[in-house]
Amino acid sequence: MKCMFAPGCALRKYKPELVEKIYRFLGDRGIAEGVYTTCCKDEQAFSEKVRLIVCCPGCQSRFQRCYPQVEAVSLWKILEDTDFPFPDYHGARMSIHDSCHARGRNSSEMQRSARAVCRRMNIECVEPEHTGDQAVCCGGSSGDYETRRQMALARAAEFTEKEVVVYCTGCARSFSVTDVTPRYLPDLLFGENTEGLYPPGHPGDLSAAR
């Protein structure tokens, strides 16, 4: 079965250099043989069974739900048993948030493996009161900015740590307007900080304050 890395539109727009770094590792180890760049929301044309390594919960959910030819597995599950050069965060305590698409149907794989990768990086994940399948939405599903901000503030209030691990860019975007610091898992893999993800001039853009 052919195996490809499907980073998703959000990561490719956010930090395309991370896509290159991740694929370089996967390709060098013979794990993946190409980058799949078709948006998961577009019509797909799979002529045979394929394995897609995804890092977006939304992509994993859609591929599994709509395409029986696709075996969608998270990047975190792939990396946890490899010789990836994980950085050492020296026991840093961070809260963790599970996105809407990582709950229910996909929870057992992505939730568990995201935490396993954190352990490989020597990060202690501190669970909020509502976590896993009971996690509360960050507000990314709302239709307007103010509602999203209020939902993000309410969810952020449940975290006991200043930093929060997220594995969805939408969640990182929501929490960037709260008093917690989102740490997007692909950023953590390479020792990078997570940017606000809002465009300049947007009400949620925090670039002037950073």
Full pLDDT tens readout for the chain, 210 residues: 899 999 999 999 999 999 999 999 999 999 999 999 999 999 888 889 999 999 999 999 899 889 999 999 999 999 998 999 999 999 999 999 999 988 876 557 899 999 999 999 999 999 999 999 999 999 988 878 889 999 999 999 999 999 999 999 999 999 988 999 999 999 999 999 998 665 444 554 443 333
Nearest alpha carbon to residue 54 among 167, 189, 196, 192:
167
Same-domain status, 105 and 204: yes
Among 79, 101, 120, identify where a domain stops: 79
Same-domain status, 161 and 60: no
Q: Residue 124: inside a domain, yes or no?
A: yes
Strand partners, 95: 126, 164
- Write 115-121 long-range contacts (CB < 8 A, 24+): 116/76, 116/77, 116/80, 117/76, 117/79, 117/80, 117/86, 117/185, 117/189, 118/94, 118/165, 118/185, 118/188, 120/79, 120/80, 120/84, 120/86, 121/86, 121/87, 121/88, 121/89, 121/188, 121/189
Give the Cα separation of 15 and 136 in Å (integer): 27
Q: Number of structural domains, the chain?
A: 2
Same-domain status, 111 and 195: yes
Same-domain status, 74 and 96: no
Q: Residue 87: inside a domain, yes or no?
A: no
Q: Residue 84: inside a domain, yes or no?
A: no
Quote the tokens at residue 137.
């939405």
Q: Which domain holds residue 174?
A: 92-209
The predicted structure's pLDDT at residue 200? 43
**Contact, 155 vs 164, CB < 8 A?**
no
**Contact, 85 vs 156, CB < 8 A?**
no
Same-domain status, 200 and 126: yes
Q: Residue 183: inside a domain, yes or no?
A: yes
The predicted structure's pLDDT at residue 206? 40
Whether the full predicted model's pTM is greater than 0.85, yes or no, is yes
